[in-house]
Amino acid sequence: MKCKLTKCAAGVLSCAFLMQSPAFASMETVLTDTKVKVAHSALEYSLKKYQEETATVSMYTNAQMDKLIAQHRHLSVIKDNDKCQFTPDIEARARVVGVPAFEFAWGDMLINGVCVQQDVKLGLDFMNRAIEHAYAPAFERMSQYYEKGIYVGEDLVKSETYMRVAASLGSDTGRLGWVDMLVRGFGSPAMYEQAYSWLYHTTFNDSYHKAKSDYLISQLGKKMPPNIIARAVAIEYDLLGK
């Protein structure tokens, strides 16, 4: 550091004396703190402007995240549209607050290495936290993993149970998945009527899922007596039971 000799009543003060004096140290701290604050403010302003110009939303709400997950678009929006800038918020709402949709999203990000270093074990842990909070998409995802033996050991009983729970929670895609499993030989005939009724009384707004629903209903109907089908159509079963 360069310093300038300063005259006072007693003469010339040395540079070393000035640097060691409390007044000098105090002045240096103030100057350093001011520079840090200015730099921090500039960084915050730049980040805010970037978010305003590039983000699809200022911050994800629960409803927005639920919708993105239902559309299977959450990872692409988080990474491609919003450039990973909301990663800390997603993590905080998953870890600290324990919001099911964000537990699912954060778990999926970890499992697939999206915006973060891949950590399958930790990702599955957050998926299971979402399951503990009765989040239907988490039941569906883990059902698929257990059926195919992806990231976890193959367990067809768990796969069947998890998909049935997703359907019972009112998930449209869970109901499709559950009837699909029954058509493929999972479950038992005692489960057909309830599953048929759930899917029959589910409304789909897009042609793809509507066509898939119609097909699965027709296939499951082939396994059921006409009187049971008539009863399933007439009675809309309550969620989680009859």
pLDDT band at 8 (very low <50, low <70, confident <90, very high): very low
Cα–Cα distance list, 70 to 5, 19, 64, 155, 207 (Å): 71, 63, 10, 25, 16
pLDDT band at 94 (very low <50, low <70, confident <90, very high): very high
Q: What is the mean pLDDT of residues 121-150?
A: 98
- Span 11-30, pLDDT tens digits: 433 444 334 444 434 444 44
Q: What pLDDT is recorded for position 31? A: 40
Q: Three-state DSSP class for 232?
A: helix
Q: What is the mean pLDDT of residues 69-77?
A: 96
pLDDT band at 3 (very low <50, low <70, confident <90, very high): very low
Phi, psi of 71 (to 5 degrees): -90, 0
Residue 190 has pLDDT above 50, yes or no: yes
pLDDT band at 150 (very low <50, low <70, confident <90, very high): very high
Residue pointed to by tokens 């899922």: 209
Judged by average pLDDT, the poorest of 8-17, 173-182, 195-204 is 8-17
pLDDT band at 58 (very low <50, low <70, confident <90, very high): low
Q: What is the pTM of this model?
A: 0.75
Instruction: Give the tokens for residue 64.
Output: 């927005």
Q: What pLDDT is recorded for position 178? A: 99
Q: Which helix (H) or strand (E) holds 8?
A: strand 6-8
Q: What is the mean pLDDT of residues 111-136?
A: 98
Residue 35 has pLDDT above 50, yes or no: yes
pLDDT band at 40 (very low <50, low <70, confident <90, very high): low
Dihedral (C-alpha) 58, 62, 64, 66: value to the nearest 10 degrees? 150
Residue 32 has pLDDT above 80, yes or no: no
Mean pLDDT over all residues of the chain?
84
